[in-house]
Amino acid sequence: MKKPPKPSHDHAIAYHEAGHAVLAHFLQVRTVEVSIVADGSGRDGYTRHHASQMRALDATARAIISLGGMAAQKLYCPRFSDDRGGEDDERDAYDAVGHLARTRRETRVLLNCLGECARALLSKPRLWRAVKAVAEALLAKKTLTGKEVDGIIRKASRKR
């Protein structure tokens, strides 16, 4: 049996950022910009959301969006081992929900559950089509405006 081709770093980053954008869209948060171009801070890509809409979300929804990047990256290629982008996202998720638990262990359990929630949502065919479409567009253009992301997600979500 043939092994699937090893994904490129750019593909993994594109799926990672697409996961954030699609879950934000699903949770009705506007994306401002998505890019797979390094931003100079050590990140290989980024997704920027409308700040006031993010602040208005409850803590678990913010954490699900933060964990959506790694969820999409692992769904795209489960054996891809480069988790660098996930460290900042996990820290953001921890900051969002840390106050909901009494101990670090409880926080870890909560984060694992929310990560599974992100994975389950992105596994839905309609959302996974949107992730694939955003990732493909990112690979082609490198950076997308929020308006472009919204259009791509809407179009991909309508297909059957």
Q: Enumerate the domain spans of the chain.
A: 9-150
pLDDT per residue as tens digits for the range 41-76: 878 899 999 999 988 899 999 999 999 999 999 999
Q: What is the mean pLDDT of the chain?
A: 90
Instruction: Round to whole Å and give the CA distance between 97 and 87.
Output: 16
Q: Identify whether the C-beta of residue 93 lies closer than 8 Å to the C-beta of residue 66.
A: yes
CATH architecture of 9-150: Up-down Bundle (1.20)
Predicted local confidence at residue 38, as pLDDT = 86
Q: What are phi and psi of 13, to 5 degrees?
A: -65, -40
- Asked whether the predicted pLDDT for residue 160 surpasses 70, the reply is no
pLDDT per residue as tens digits for the range 88-125: 899 999 999 989 999 999 999 999 999 999 999 999 99
Predicted local confidence at residue 1, as pLDDT = 46
Nearest to 74 by CA among 137, 123, 24: 123
Largest CA distance in the chain: 50
Give one DSSP letter per residue of the chain, joined into a string: -PPPPPPPHHHHHHHHHHHHHHHHHHTT--EEEEE-S--SSS-S-EEEE-HHHHHHS-HHHHHHHHHHHHHHHHHH-TT----HHHHHHHHHHHHHHGGG-SSHHHHHHHHHHHHHHHHHHHHSHHHHHHHHHHHHHHHHHSEEEHHHHHHHHHHHHH--
- Asked whether the predicted pLDDT for residue 4 surpasses 70, the reply is no
- Asked whether the predicted pLDDT for residue 141 surpasses 50, the reply is yes
Predicted local confidence at residue 84, as pLDDT = 57
Predicted local confidence at residue 116, as pLDDT = 97
Residue type, 132: K
pLDDT level of residue 82 (50, 70, 90 thresholds)? low
Instruction: Round to whole Å and give the CA distance between 35 and 46.
Output: 5
Instruction: Round to whole Å and give the CA distance between 128 and 1.
Output: 26
Which of 8-17, 20-29, 126-135 is least confident?
8-17
Q: Identify whether the C-beta of residue 97 lies closer than 8 Å to the C-beta of residue 110.
A: yes
